[in-house]
Amino acid sequence: MSDAARSLPLTDLSQDEAGFRQLVRDFAEEKVRPLVHEMDEEEAIPRELIDLCFQLGLMGVEIPEAHGGAAATFFMSTLAIEELARVDPSVAVLVDVQNTLVNNAILRWGTDAQKARYFPRLAESWVGAYALSEADSGSDAFALTCRAEARGDHYELTGRKMWITNAAEAELFIVMATIDPAKGYKGITSFLVERSFPGLAVGKKEAKLGIRASSTCELILEACRVPKDNVLGEPGKGYKIAIETLNEGRIGIGAQMVGLAQGAYELALRYAQERQQFGRPISDFQAVQFELAELATQIEAARLLTYNASRLRDIRLPFVKESAMAKLFASRVAERVASSAIEIHGGYGFTREYPVEKYFRDQKVGQIYEGTSNMQLLVIAKQILGKM
């Protein structure tokens, strides 16, 4: 890493965004890039690399300094996710879920005792996961069937969660379950569930098209004992936590897609300047020049949409519409850029010998998780029509 990046104290991150970006970029280039192909093939992130993310402070960006975190801003999380995704979107989403969903939810709704118990661990070594989705509960997020029944000083959670990012590595899960199905979404409650709690098991790991190194697993709860002190927020308020946390999580996915697009674009730009046809680089041809110009413009637009939503969130202004716009647009841009990058590479881009094909596989999930593109359109439409 550069000397400037090495010397940057974590407590100064909020005062030096450029320095922090460089710190993460150096880390991504030096520690992540050499492992990208191997991680994709092995479908796992080495624990040693995860530990480095903790040591660098990337897993506890907003966690208060008193609890071992960097005490920085949400925007700094956005920068970290973007820079990691430029090299490997799988590592980016590991950091994304930790910061924008898990840490963020506890920061906003956790009790002082919960923060004191979990933040030091989440800043130092514990990976977190967010368990909302179920087999029949995707876009219809509140059609969940996972039950939580009160038993004296604890709840027993029973059900199955699907598509849980970070599940293979996680030591702490935020689990959504209903305490009263008759109340509909008003019965949904959030629980802080430790991996060691009796009755919790991590199921099979999904074999995926993209972000293969990022774990996506089923979560199985069979009368899982959760102390009542581990209710996050209030009983029956889980729907509010889920909605508001996902609004922020969408900004993280926007940042992931911006970084991914930037990484694919850089490969295409370099290849276009190196590839010779008809006695000169293909970047000399106007058709290629215009395509590169279009891609650069779209990436910058997606970046600014994402940064705007992130800044609005930090200064506590409304950002629901902006976060949906950022995720919607950035995921579309990532698809366009990754596809075009393959075309610029020609036949080589269609092979695994060149890394550009991985960006194309990795980008597709951006239009699915944290709310599909159609759900983002619905959110935007309701916002502009004044129905939310």
DSSP calls for 100-115: IIIIHHHHHH--HHHH
User: Of 185, 202, 236, which residue is a domain's last?
Assistant: 236
What is the token pair recorded at 118?
């979990």
- 77 and 157 inside one domain: no
- 372 and 274 inside one domain: yes
The helix (H) or strand (E) run that includes residue 216 is strand 216-227
Place of tokens 């993209």: 210
Give the active site residue among 83, 169, 357, 370. 370
- 136 and 112 inside one domain: no
- 214 and 102 inside one domain: no
With a cut of 60, say whether residue 199 has pLDDT above it.
yes
Helices (H) and strands (E) in the chain, counts: 13, 10
Of the candidates 74, 69, 46, 67, the one whose C-alpha atom is nearest the C-alpha of residue 59 is 69
User: Of 74, 105, 127, which residue is a domain's last?
Assistant: 127
Report the distance separating Cα 131 and Cα 204, nearest Å. Answer: 15
Can you give the CATH number for the domain in which 68 is found?
1.10.540.10
The total domain count for the chain is 3
Greatest extent of the chain over all pairs of C-alpha atoms, in Å: 79
With a cut of 50, say whether residue 13 has pLDDT above it.
no
pLDDT digits (tens, 9 = 90+) for 89-107: 999 999 999 999 999 999 9
With a cut of 60, say whether residue 287 has pLDDT above it.
yes
pLDDT band at 138 (very low <50, low <70, confident <90, very high): confident
Predicted pLDDT at 6: 41
Predicted pLDDT at 8: 40
pLDDT digits (tens, 9 = 90+) for 110-133: 999 999 999 999 999 999 999 999
Let me know if 156 is a catalytic residue. no
Range 208-231 average pLDDT: 98
Task: Say if CB 230 and CB 105 are below 8 A apart.
Answer: no
pLDDT digits (tens, 9 = 90+) for 309-343: 999 999 999 999 999 999 999 999 999 999 999 99
Can you give the CATH number for the domain in which 371 is found?
1.20.140.10
Secondary structure of residue 21 in the 3-state scheme: helix
With a cut of 90, say whether residue 291 has pLDDT above it.
yes
Can you give the CATH number for the domain in which 202 is found?
2.40.110.10
Of the candidates 7, 114, 13, the one whose C-alpha atom is nearest the C-alpha of residue 57 is 13
- 177 and 264 inside one domain: no
Report the distance separating Cα 166 and Cα 127, nearest Å. Answer: 7
Nearest-Å Rg of the Cα atoms of the chain is: 21
Of the candidates 191, 168, 167, 166, the one whose C-alpha atom is nearest the C-alpha of residue 178 is 191
With a cut of 50, say whether residue 11 has pLDDT above it.
no
- 378 and 263 inside one domain: yes
Give the range of the structural domain holding residue 299, as residue numbers without chain letter: 240-384
- 101 and 7 inside one domain: yes
pLDDT band at 9 (very low <50, low <70, confident <90, very high): very low
pLDDT band at 195 (very low <50, low <70, confident <90, very high): very high
Average pLDDT value over all residues in the chain:
94
- 264 and 377 inside one domain: yes
- 13 and 119 inside one domain: yes
